[in-house]
Amino acid sequence: MARGPQRERGGRDRDKEKVESEFTDKLVHINRVAKVVKGGKRFGFAALVVVGDLKGRVGYGHGKAREVPEAIRKATEEARRSLIRVPLRDARTLHHDSEGHHGAGRVVLRAAPPGTGIIAGGAMRAVFEMLGVHDVVAKSLGTKNAYNVVRATFDALTNQENPRAVAARRSKKVSEIVSRRRDEAAAQSPDAGAEG
């Protein structure tokens, strides 16, 4: 009877190791914070970490502790708990352009053709790398605060939808939505304006 729970616990540990190994994490920002007390100042550290599986799942977390490794560990655990799934086109870029904001931070994300790479700065680059995006153009407007930029990027990513979901919502076929988007893109390209 005692063997059952032990075997079960061992299985859970293996599952936990498997889950941890499929995610990679990236430290975005670390900040030294001070608490003023009667005897002077007590220093601690705050860490911002982005975690992803490089296949469309990403999350971020914030952790505070007296030592840097402990703050990073707390932030990583929180990031794993707050994962979101983002639909990717051809497993390399976003389906459509989107904007997001948080506080004074505002970001603009644009889908890009193959070979473009990740054109984004600082905190946004970390989010896209952990997400598994290979081609994207992104611009951060307003604040340069890493926390607000990451939150604004997540706000923009939560607005991403794949054509199948849009088609189901509108009771149309996927081909109708995709062909319409291609027609609009062709009309907006500078070559189309020169011909007309």
Confidence band (pLDDT; 50, 70, 90) for 5? very low
Length, in residues, of the chain: 196
**In a shared domain, residues 70 and 95:** no
**In a shared domain, residues 75 and 112:** no
Alpha helices, H only, 23-132 = 68-81, 122-131
CA end-to-end distance (rounded Å), the chain = 81
Q: Provide the residue range defining the domain that includes 29.
A: 3-84
**In a shared domain, residues 182 and 149:** yes
Express each pLDDT in 129-162 by its tens digit: 999 999 999 999 998 999 999 999 999 999 888 8
Sheet of 105-111, strands arranged across: 98-102, 105-111, 136-142, 118-119
Express each pLDDT in 40-76 by its tens digit: 999 999 999 999 999 889 999 999 999 999 999 999 9
Domain count, the chain: 2
CA distance 37 to 59: 34
What does the pLDDT average to over 14-36? 79
**In a shared domain, residues 126 and 48:** no
Whole-model pTM: value is 0.78
Q: What is the pLDDT of residue 170?
A: 82
